[in-house]
Amino acid sequence: MAVYTDVSFEDLEEFLEAYDIGGAQVFKGIAEGVSNSNYYLETDKGRFILTLYEKRIDTEELPFFLGLMEHLAAAGLPCPTPVRMRAQSSSGPLNGRIAAILTFLEGISLHRPTAEHCHVAGRALAELHRTGADFSGRRDNTLGLEGWKSLATDCNAHADGVAVGLQQLIASELTFLEGKWPKELPRGIIHADFFPDNVLFLDKKVSGIIDFYFACYDALAYDLAVTLNAWCFEQDGGFNVTKSKAMLAGYQSVRRLTPAECAALPILSRGAALRFLLTRLYDWVNKSPDALVRPKDPRQFEKRLRFHRNVRNPEEYGL
């Protein structure tokens, strides 16, 4: 829901005095994203993204997010690099928010990725997991099972107004996942929001991975389950096993899944679907009148969750 916080040209010029990136020539809001206020910035020395961190982002965690991007970019992963001020800080105050300037990446995000794109995206996700393995920072997943419970409580009164039977579906799924959630899978740094709009392509290659503000330390296969949910369902809600098979093959061309991870994939996929059902439901019932874009419909993930509830073995995903 960008943009929440307005930045005037005068505000921008004052903020840029701390940097050595030249004077602003183009500056405009970006109507994408759900957590922060984002602006496209072009100066006489390059192109950048200015991000102001809104209430969903705990600014005390910014050193983790920005440090992770620096680490991944230095290792060759195509992700934004925070631009440091002359004083070497990577963020600072702007209009009552903490803000950072990031390098701009070329590429486009896809609304209808093909199986070939899914293969490439799966490979890129595995490369992110491999590259992040030696990052020293740690951050718990605040949108794990405990976070889902809190969101469900906040949304209970409104759930059935969005879809009949939704409150009961969420409650029963939370009960199931609390008893079945796998706890001994390989863990590491995950993106946790690896959706098509956060992956940029040029010439069928990944040219950029963006929006690391849900990144955390958690099960690597959970990140893959998030990505399957994000990439492998069609506009009509149907699951595309060809895309899923391609994504899994791309991922495993870099990092092989363990037998335990394969076996857990249906449960992880249920959890990933519930996570985005709940966050979208929360945004849907707490709409901001100042946002430039509308919140996303949570009912898409209700359908995906119901699909995963009927999966009986991981081979149904194309493994």
pLDDT for the residue 1:
40
pLDDT of 59 over the 90 cut: no
DSSP codes of every residue in 4-69: SS---HHHHHHHHTTSSS--EEEEEE----SSEEEEEEEETTEEEEEEEE-TTS-GGGHHHHHHHH
Residue type, 21: I
- What confidence tens digit (pLDDT) does each residue in 8-32 have? 999 999 999 999 999 999 999 987 6
CATH number of 115-317: 3.90.1200.10
pLDDT for the residue 293:
59
Does the model's pTM come out above 0.85? yes
Domains 9-103 and 115-317 share a fold: no
* Other C-beta atoms lying within 10 Å of the C-beta of residue 164: 10
Taking the C-alpha atoms of residue 95 and residue 169, their distance in angstroms, rounded to an integer, is 41
pLDDT for the residue 295:
78
What are the residue boundaries of the structural domains of the chain, listed by start?
9-103, 115-317
Averaged pLDDT, 96-114? 96
- What confidence tens digit (pLDDT) does each residue in 143-165 have? 999 999 999 999 999 999 999 99
CATH number of 9-103: 3.30.200.20
- What confidence tens digit (pLDDT) does each residue in 249-290 have? 999 999 999 999 999 999 999 999 999 999 999 989 887 665
Question: Exposure of 296 by Cβ count < 10 A (0-12 exposed, 13-18 middle, 19+ buried)?
Answer: middle
Taking the C-alpha atoms of residue 319 and residue 316, their distance in angstroms, rounded to an integer, is 7
What's the token pair of residue 210?
Answer: 């963006």
Residues across the chain: 319
